[in-house]
Amino acid sequence: MNVDRLPATRVRLLDPYGQAMIPVPYRVVHRHEETADTVTVRLEPVGDGLDAWAPGQFTMVYAFGVGEIPISISGGSGPVIQHTVRAVGAVSRAICDAPVGSILGLRGPFGRGWPDRPPEGDVIVLAGGIGLAPLRPVILAGLREPGRLSVLIGARTPADLIFTAEYDQWRAAGARVLVTVDRADATWTGHVGVVTTLLSQVPVAPSGTTRPAPTGYICGPEIMMRLGADALVAAGVPPHRIWVSLERTMHCGIALCGHCQLGPILVCRDGPVVDAGNAARLLQHREL
Amino acid sequence: MIPSDTAQGLAHRPWAVFFVCPDRRGSEGSIGRGRPALRIALVIDDADRDRPNGVKIMSALLRSLEPLVTTLRAEGCTVVGPRERDGAIVLDAIDSAAQLPSGWGVQTGPGVYRLRRRADRAVFGHSAGPQAWKRFLHPPRERLWSADRGVDGTLTITGPDEEPPRYAFLGVRACDLRAIAIQDRVLGASPSYAARRRAAFLVAVNCTEPSATCFCVSAGAGPDVEAVETRPDRAPADWALADLALTELAEPGDAEPLYVATALSPAGGRILARLPQTPAPPDVVAAARAAVGAATDHMGRSLPDVDLREMLAASLDSPHWADVAARCLTCANCTMVCPTCFCTSVTDTTDLSGDHAERWQTWASCFEVDFSYLHGGSVRTSARSRYRQWLTHKLGTWRDQFGESGCVGCGRCIAWCPAGIDITAEVRALTSQGAER
Ligand SMILES: Cc1cc2nc3c(=O)[nH]c(=O)nc-3n(C[C@H](O)[C@H](O)[C@H](O)COP(=O)(O)OP(=O)(O)OC[C@H]3O[C@@H](n4cnc5c(N)ncnc54)[C@H](O)[C@@H]3O)c2cc1C
Ligand code: SF4
Ligand code: SF4
């Protein structure tokens, strides 16, 4: 095994303690119900925690005796890791139900996250549903430079919006935050329509102008990411500066199990964040 | 020389962490860091790794394999070799060379594998059987850890702490040696794989009689063991492959075949030095080389001589996949017999008390519908997409993912496919269709 030629994550995994294989215990220290089916948990390590994470990375979260699933890191500082989980099956349900004080296991952080925003140019975040969770660290980092950041959020209904308490804080810090829903309810007075329709309210510098090129970050259902990337390109964002986060089944998170293959890439190792051009090339083939 | 404290230090010296077989044993240490201790052996003789380049090649003539089996067993190794069972050559533990499949050959073809009697008493005169060495290095079922929940809710997770088995593999063909190198690259980061792999002593055997389904030459994986061992893409720091190489010379009428044995590692050299032997006369060595050379010219099959990665990437929407899908039963046989297929699934379980949990890893196959299951449904539901995943991964995208091909040309998938689907024929059809487009 020639370690020099392998990506850095693989080198770390040669750890003889098997840390990459064995979940590290974390205690649930805070729990917030975002929506009827989505919960944000804050986790604190019981002993030694995981290594430092970067926005867009994920951990494998283990619910005792139930199973383990990949979940993006939606925030946290120091040793605390925050996850936002939508209950769609046995394991995600068990994580959502974990009470404060209970123990979950974490492995990670794994994967390539969002590339840092370039020093200049507008930053456009496009989020659909639970897809806002992995983008939250990007948004928080972007707030450090007021005026550059636009956050476009879409959800099925107003009741499916997550992190709603934070939108005004983000606005106050200088971000443009626009929200839309597919189906309004009686209380909703905001925008209705798919998230890409919000783009018309965002001034994007078309390429060829003297303003620096914008950058786009997208996460949501696969179809939304495809349409979102197309819309950003149409609005003048260069394709190589649009990033999406892919989802595939993962049993290990460290390029050993083979489940997350998407053609030439292993999503856990080469992703989950990839550029929109690559994603489009791969996703154009049905059932790849 | 050995960094004793940090995992990072060890990570940069992966060769320093393993259980070692004959003569490679060093001091044994126990290291823990708030986690269950994993016992590791530290190799003190760092120069041992610099093989095969630093090793003086030494050839000897052996008249029997019994002393080799006895010596390896005395070193504490479980010797695994080919055995005849239920109409096939399987791989299993042996305690005597007499258990090797003396005088058995095979006849193979698409969907065909039959034993036949040979005119001589060769024990390695059969090509790849239904099993590969991966079943020992990467077992079909493995417990990754167990967890106990205390009364206060605390969680204690314990990794595998048993010593890895110390295998000596007897009769690893060049294609299978290459397959082990390929799995090293994929699974080397798994601590349990690494421990088993590094403890194993490998006795390779040159192939002198390929079968109709073999195509190791065009896969760059044989039939010459030393050529595989010294492939240009094998960096010096790669894990060593074979320790000893044998070439079997069997003549009808001889009571036992002769073996030209060559040491390819210092450990192999030390074992070889302990065996009863005579110097190999130059004409016998030349005859052995010639037999391996002749095998090169007798491959039953070949891969098309094009850039398969590019060809397959351009063929993802070819109508030919539907043609294969009409024949493929998606039985997953090909993935089970393939020596490089590595995919696994994990299952988490609890016992009746609910406070003891385990994680088990089992072989999986891209032919299973559930393999690509995402909540809501599977990505690859059609047989067309699952066969395409298998073939394009083996010969194409494996290069993108791991920098080399995932096929060694052993022909197992052809012989053990109930539908007789032949990977070389399918890739040839795709190539000619691509050329027409
Ligand atoms: C990189 C990444 C980041 C993610 N981030 C988040 C996030 O931040 N928040 C979030 O809510 N979700 C996230 N997800 C999605 C999340 O992982 C899935 O929703 C989760 O796996 C669902 O698991 P489940 O057991 O609850 O649901 P299920 O749909 O019951 O099961 C999903 C998984 O369980 C296994 N499984 C279940 N049934 C079968 C079967 N019949 N056969 C074989 N295997 C089976 C498979 O591994 C499958 O992928 C992310 C996914 C990825 C890949
Ligand atoms: S794909 Fe077939 S021929 Fe190639 S290594 Fe696997 S089993 Fe052998
Ligand atoms: S190619 Fe043959 S062995 Fe492989 S899944 Fe299809 S029918 Fe089974």
Q: What is the pLDDT of residues B236-270, one digit of tens each?
A: 556 778 999 999 999 998 888 999 999 988 899 99
Q: Which range among A241-245, B20-24, B206-210, B311-315 shows the weakest confidence by mean pLDDT?
A: B20-24
Residue A121 contacts by C-beta under 8 Å, 6 or more apart in sequence?
Answer: A148, A205, A211, A212, A213, A214, A215
Residue A18: predicted pLDDT: 54
* Residue A206 within any structural domain of the chain: yes
Residue B278: predicted pLDDT: 92
Nearest atom, ligand 3, residue B365 CA:
5
B303, B219 contact by CB (below 8 A): yes
Judged against a pLDDT cut of 60, whether residue B365 lies above it is answered with yes
Examine the domain organization and report whether B260 and B326 are in the same domain.
no
| Contact A20/B at CB under 8 A | yes
Handedness of CA B277, B281, B283, B289 (dihedral sign): positive
Residue A207: predicted pLDDT: 56
Residue A101: predicted pLDDT: 94
Structure tokens at A244: 């999406």
Examine the domain organization and report whether B292 and B176 are in the same domain.
yes
Of chain A, the percentage scoring pLDDT greater than 90 comes to 80
Structure tokens at B32: 């823990």
Of chain B, the percentage scoring pLDDT greater than 90 comes to 69
Question: What is d(CA B407, CA B397) in angstroms, rounded to the nearest whole number?
Answer: 11
Q: What is the mean pLDDT of chain A?
A: 90
Examine the domain organization and report whether B187 and B312 are in the same domain.
no
Cα of B424 from ligand 1 centre, angstroms? 36
* Residue A171 within any structural domain of the chain: yes
pLDDT confidence band for B160 (50 / 70 / 90): confident
Examine the domain organization and report whether A47 and A136 are in the same domain.
no
- Taking phi first (over 0 means left), then psi (-120 to 50 degrees means alpha), and beta for anything else, what does residue B294 get? alpha
Write out residues 120-159 of A within 8 Å (CB-CB) of B: none
pLDDT confidence band for A158 (50 / 70 / 90): very high
Choose among B12, B155, B184: nearest Cβ to A103. Answer: B155
Which residue range(s) make up the domain with B25? 4-142+153-296
Residue minimizing CA distance to atom 28 of ligand 1: A89
* Residue B358 within any structural domain of the chain: no
Q: What is the mean pLDDT of chain B?
A: 85
Which residue range(s) make up the domain with A13? 3-110
Residue A221's CATH number: 3.40.50.80
* Residue A117 within any structural domain of the chain: no
* Residue A115 within any structural domain of the chain: no
* Residue B406 within any structural domain of the chain: yes
Examine the domain organization and report whether A21 and A98 are in the same domain.
yes
- Name the closest residue on chain A to residue B377, using Cα atoms: A249
Handedness of CA B43, B45, B46, B47 (dihedral sign): negative
Give pTM, 2 decimals: 0.88
Number of domains in chain A: 2
User: Measuring from each residue's beta carbon to the nearest atom of ligand 2, which residues come in under 6 Å?
Assistant: B 337-340, 394, 407-413, 423
Examine the domain organization and report whether A248 and A151 are in the same domain.
yes
E strands, B206-267, are 244-249, 258-263
Judged against a pLDDT cut of 50, whether residue B52 lies above it is answered with no
pLDDT in tens, A89-123: 999 999 999 999 999 999 999 999 999 988 888 99
Residue A206: predicted pLDDT: 61
- Provide, as residue numbers in chain B, all residues whose Cβ is less than 8 Å from the Cβ of A95: none
Examine the domain organization and report whether B292 and B314 are in the same domain.
no
Question: What is d(CA A74, CA A112) in angstroms, rounded to the nearest whole number?
Answer: 15
| Contact A25/B at CB under 8 A | yes
pLDDT confidence band for B140 (50 / 70 / 90): very high
* Residue B355 within any structural domain of the chain: no
Residue B391: predicted pLDDT: 97
Structure tokens at A12: 């770390």
Structure tokens at A188: 């909703």
Examine the domain organization and report whether A174 and A61 are in the same domain.
no
Examine the domain organization and report whether A7 and A143 are in the same domain.
no
Q: Decide if B189 and A13 are in contact by the 8 Å CB cutoff.
A: yes
Judged against a pLDDT cut of 50, whether residue B42 lies above it is answered with no
Q: How far is B355 from chain A (nearest CA, A)?
A: 8
| Contact A273/B at CB under 8 A | no
Point out the ligand nearest to the CA of residue B325.
Answer: 3
Rg (CA), chain B: 23
A126, A196 contact by CB (below 8 A): yes
Residue A208: predicted pLDDT: 61
Residue B17: predicted pLDDT: 26
Burial group, residue B52, by CB count within 10 angstroms (0-12, 13-18, 19+)? buried
Examine the domain organization and report whether B112 and B50 are in the same domain.
yes
Is the shortest distance between the CB of A130 and ligand 1 below 6 Å?
yes
Nearest residue to B395 via CA among B428, B437, B362: B428
Nearest residue to A93 via CA among A101, A105, A85: A85
